[in-house]
Structure 1
């Protein structure tokens, strides 16, 4: 009986911690109900590398592809609405490094890279440094894993 209980507890803990292939992951990572942690995804394309993301405002919100997106200005909102595929983060805003490794983790609005006109978010700035070690290779691996890493 005691062994069975330990096995069940260990199995339950493993199931809770497992992220790869989890069924039901949303297409866009959303924190506090907004894609990209509420950051203005258009603003990244004008920032210096390493700068923190720009917070969006509740004044400038649009819905696209099942998610709510915030912007810091009406101009940025209009730019996104005109071409959302250009500005929406790759891999649904999940950590690009994680997707390249075959699993999902949340993306941090302050750990980002724009590479060849595409926005990538990472879990944190430390993980971003790993990502930067081989951006083309990581993009290739991430593209191969996306969107199957979402499961379901």
Structure 2
């Protein structure tokens, strides 16, 4: 009986800890190393500096100033990009995690959305031209299914 209880405990805890929230990272940092607070405070993205870093949910974030780092530490959920920083349009329309251009973004309803952008395709523009509320609803639903890292 004791072995059975131990087995159940380890099975549940392994499953719980294996489901780690997934953030889009490049070079080891969320949002390509851009300061996620700067989108709100400066109204434009700024690259983070190595001296201002923190780890949240197992992911490293960089900031352009000590002030922005402090704001993030106080309330990280206010600044973290939607859908883990993956392309909002790709999550909503394709239910996939796609990398982003951190300078292609929108703040809508107090939330930060990042998008894929290249000379061939501008997903921010596509997002804005379509029914954004419907895309947000689809994105929220799809993200609930794909937000954890698959190991």
> Does the alignment reach a TM-score above 0.5?
yes
Structure 1 consecutive aligned stretches of length 4 or more whose deviation exceeds 2 Å: 149-152
For the pair 1:28 / 2:20, whether they are aligned, the reply is no
- Partner of 2:47, secondary structure, is coil
Instruction: Kindly state the Cα deviation for residue 26 of structure 1 after the two structures are TM-superposed.
Output: 6.3
Unaligned runs of 5+ residues in structure 1 are 1-23
Higher relative contact order (CA 8 A, sep 6+): 1
1:64 — aligned with what?
Answer: 56
TM-score, normalising length: structure 1: 0.77
Distance of 1:143 and 1:94 partners within structure 2 = 12
Q: Let me know the Cα RMSD of the aligned residues.
A: 1.9
Instruction: Kindly state the Cα deviation for residue 137 of structure 1 after the two structures are TM-superposed.
Output: 1.5
Unaligned runs of 5+ residues in structure 2 are 1-18
Q: Which moved more, 1:142-151 or 1:123-132?
A: 142-151
- The count of aligned residue pairs is 126
TM-score, normalising length: structure 2: 0.77
1:91 — aligned with what?
Answer: 83
1:122 — aligned with what?
Answer: 115
